[in-house]
Amino acid sequence: MRHADDFLVEEHLRALASRLQGPARLKSDLLTEARHDLQDSVDAYRESGVPPTEAQLRAVAEFGSPAQLLPSWQAELAVAALRGLSLRMLAVAGILVAAGDLTWRGSSWSAGPPPPALYRLLSASVDWIWLGALLLAVTGLLVVRASARSARPGLAAAQRAVGAALIGTLVLGILAGGALFAWSIDMWDAALTWPPMIVGMVVMGAAHFSLTRAARGWLRAAAG
């Protein structure tokens, strides 16, 4: 049962919360579970006749200091952040690999002379970048699954490597995709009013924003 004067318990939880970085839902779940465990311990001490403040001190000491608790909690948050980044990348890259050319199909300029060789190379590069992102996302999910089953040190290194590769691929995808859109508009004036192109730009803008947030969340969790 929670008591209004459990200030030492709440102070301990605030100290933990201020140093944890990662997905908000999992962080909240960890802290809620910690609060319940601490309160149960405090109640047990009080029922045995220990004064309230002393009961909190004992419960907090038994529960563990931030230095003892944070490494394992932060590792769990980093894994969850990598899972979120991998899932978002899997969705975005999967759509782009499967339907990336729909933006151009049936356009008024598609029957004209072919674009420059460098443009075609850039277009192919965008396809390969997102295919690589798709494979990395699958790899990330496999690493997350393996991490849930084992605490081997090598898996932590694999998490960092895959996360960094996903972020690097995202940056390349944004730069190459932006350059491709800009070049297309420069070559074909009608591209700026072509509905599939407009939809594609809006969708990609939202996708890049979502992926960038997930990447930032993983970076903070991994460095926490």
pLDDT value for 138: 97
pLDDT value for 123: 85
State how many domains the chain has.
2
In a shared domain, residues 122 and 216: yes
In a shared domain, residues 96 and 170: yes
In a shared domain, residues 50 and 113: no
Report the sign of the C-alpha dihedral through residues 18, 23, 25, 58, in that order. negative
Report the sign of the C-alpha dihedral through residues 72, 75, 76, 77, in that order. positive
pLDDT value for 174: 94
Structure tokens at 162: 């895959």
In a shared domain, residues 59 and 170: no
In a shared domain, residues 136 and 197: yes
pLDDT value for 1: 46
Q: Name which of 177, 219, 184 is nearest 93 in CA terms.
A: 177
Q: What is the CATH number of the domain that holds 90?
A: 1.20.120
- 115 inside domain: yes
- 99 inside domain: yes
To the nearest 10 degrees (0 to 180), the angle between helices 66-99 and 7-19 is 40
- 2 inside domain: no
CA–CA separation, 15 and 19 (whole Å): 7
Structure tokens at 85: 């980044």
In a shared domain, residues 112 and 192: yes
CA–CA separation, 34 and 48 (whole Å): 21
pLDDT value for 215: 96
pLDDT value for 4: 46
Q: Which domain holds residue 162?
A: 74-223
- 170 inside domain: yes
Structure tokens at 60: 């907090």
- Distance from chain centroid for Cα 215: 5
Q: What single letter denotes the amino acid at residue 120? A: R
In a shared domain, residues 50 and 78: no
Secondary structure of residue 110 in the 3-state scheme: coil
Which residue among 43, 64, 85 closes a domain?
64
pLDDT tens for the 224 residues of the chain, in order: 455 457 888 999 999 999 999 999 999 999 999 999 999 999 999 999 999 889 999 999 999 888 898 999 999 999 999 999 999 999 999 988 877 666 666 555 666 677 889 988 988 899 899 999 999 999 999 999 998 877 777 888 999 999 999 999 999 999 998 998 888 888 877 777 777 777 778 888 899 999 999 999 999 999 87
In a shared domain, residues 107 and 142: yes
CA–CA separation, 188 and 111 (whole Å): 12
In a shared domain, residues 79 and 135: yes
In a shared domain, residues 53 and 84: no
- 1 inside domain: no
In a shared domain, residues 42 and 84: no
